[in-house]
Copies of this chain bind each other. A is one copy, B any other.
Amino acid sequence: MKKLMNRAEDFIPEMLEGLYAAHGDQITYADDKPTCLVSCHKKENKVAIVTGGGSGHLPLFLGYVGDGMLDGCAIGGIFQSPSADDMLTVTKAVEAGKGVLYILGNYNGDKYNFKMAGEMADMEYDIETASVIAGDDVASGPVPEPGEVGIRRGVAGIFFVYKCAGAAADEGMSLEEVKAIAERASHNVRTMGVALSPCTVPRVGKPSFTIAEDEMELGMGIHGEPGIKRCKLMSANEVVDEMLGKILPDLPFAAGDEVAVLVNGLGATPLEEQYLVYGCVSKRLKEKQLNVHRTYVGEFATSLEMAGLSISIFKLDDELKRLLDKPANTPFFKQF
């Protein structure tokens, strides 16, 4: 295992030390618990937005806490849910008079713990909470039945949910309204990933899966969950065709739609390849008469040093577009 680290058991505490040292002007933590990250710039009389999830996905989850996006984040071990207690601690710290919205990925541990935290917040502290569970990975299950969460995993597309909900909360919308925005954003985003190499969790010490030197896996999850097709290396054009071939019919996206696009590096894939892939995506979307309003390329939701990337397409309407366009200033995401 080749990593710049000290003892494996100190990996997360030491990463957090560096994080707070680097961004002490923007983020701090509640109740002396570094795993309970909150924004330094608390605003009153707004819906507070909280997320949480396992470590190993930077800038997801904690990196989006800041002006115009999220208010707090409970931080778990690598690929492990944070505790319900930490979620409650964050909830109490960020609550600002209009209730708290939880936005989380569709993973059992996170769902279970956020449900507990919400119940404790309500019963013990009279804080109203609501939850939106994002599941944008088209490779991980069928479209959920109306009103159901289903089994689709949440991956990089949650960035769009954070961005729009954060801007909505900043505009003073009510908990019900911010929740509706987050649900619509979540409904409108579709993602698929491709992995070229695995990652190694420090405390495990060996790669999360094996894959031959001439193979890739389409649809793999950000914790190494099996994808839908393992195959010989394909060209970038072929990969993009396969991925958009799953993503576009899924919503479905239709000619004339306005969209935002995220090409997200999973960790080890250079920006050069991410841009090359975005070039292919851009051409295909033009052929399909989808209009790209905004493009994001870079690492937004990683899996440690996994090589590969994901493509997310987010369908906009006038309101989501307005919210997406608002400025934001977090340690990891800045938009003027």
The minimal Cβ–Cβ distance linking A125 to chain B, given in whole angstroms, is 32
A21 to B281, CA, bound (A): 10
Verify if A107 is at the interface (C-beta below 8 Å from B): no
Report chain B residues within 8 Å CB of A309.
4
Question: Residue of B at shortest CB range from A239?
Answer: B4
Verify if A210 is at the interface (C-beta below 8 Å from B): no
- CB-based contact A58/B272 at 8 Å: yes
Copies of this chain present = 2
Interface positions of A from 163 to 207, Cβ below 8 Å from B = 194, 196-197, 199
Q: Which residue among A196, A269, A270, A280 has the maximum number of chain B CB atoms within 10 Å of its CB?
A: A270
Question: Residue of B at shortest CB range from A304?
Answer: B270
Q: Which residue among A2, A15, A236 has the maximum number of chain B CB atoms within 10 Å of its CB?
A: A2
A336 to B56, CA, bound (A): 27
Report chain B residues within 8 Å CB of A199.
270
- CB-based contact A55/B272 at 8 Å: yes
- CB-based contact A268/B271 at 8 Å: no
A61 to B284, CA, bound (A): 28
Interface positions of A from 1 to 15, Cβ below 8 Å from B = 2-6, 11, 14-15
- CB-based contact B268/A6 at 8 Å: no
- CB-based contact A305/B269 at 8 Å: yes
A275 partner, pick from B22, B237, B275, B335, beta carbons under 8 A: B22
- CB-based contact A271/B302 at 8 Å: yes
Interface size on A, residues (CB 8 A): 60
A6 partner, pick from B21, B235, B297, beta carbons under 8 A: B235
* A237-258 to B contact mask, C-beta < 8 Å, 1/0: 1010000000000000000000
A267 partner, pick from B3, B22, B236, B268, beta carbons under 8 A: B268
The minimal Cβ–Cβ distance linking A335 to chain B, given in whole angstroms, is 7
Question: Residue of B at shortest CB range from A7?
Answer: B235
A329 to B268, CA, bound (A): 25
- CB-based contact A276/B21 at 8 Å: no
Verify if A29 is at the interface (C-beta below 8 Å from B): no
Report chain B residues within 8 Å CB of A270.
56, 58, 199, 267, 302, 304-305
Instruction: Show 26 A/B contacts (Cβ-Cβ < 8 Å), sorted by A.
Output: A2-B213, A2-B233, A2-B307, A3-B196, A4-B194, A4-B274, A4-B277, A4-B308, A5-B236, A5-B276, A6-B235, A6-B237, A11-B276, A14-B276, A14-B279, A17-B282, A18-B274, A18-B276, A18-B279, A21-B292, A22-B278, A22-B297, A23-B295, A56-B272, A267-B270, A334-B335
Task: Give me the interface of A with B, judged by CB distance under 8 Å.
Answer: 2-6, 11, 14-19, 21-23, 55-56, 58-59, 194, 196-197, 199, 213, 216, 233, 235-237, 239, 267-282, 292, 295, 297, 299, 302, 304-305, 307-309, 329, 334-336
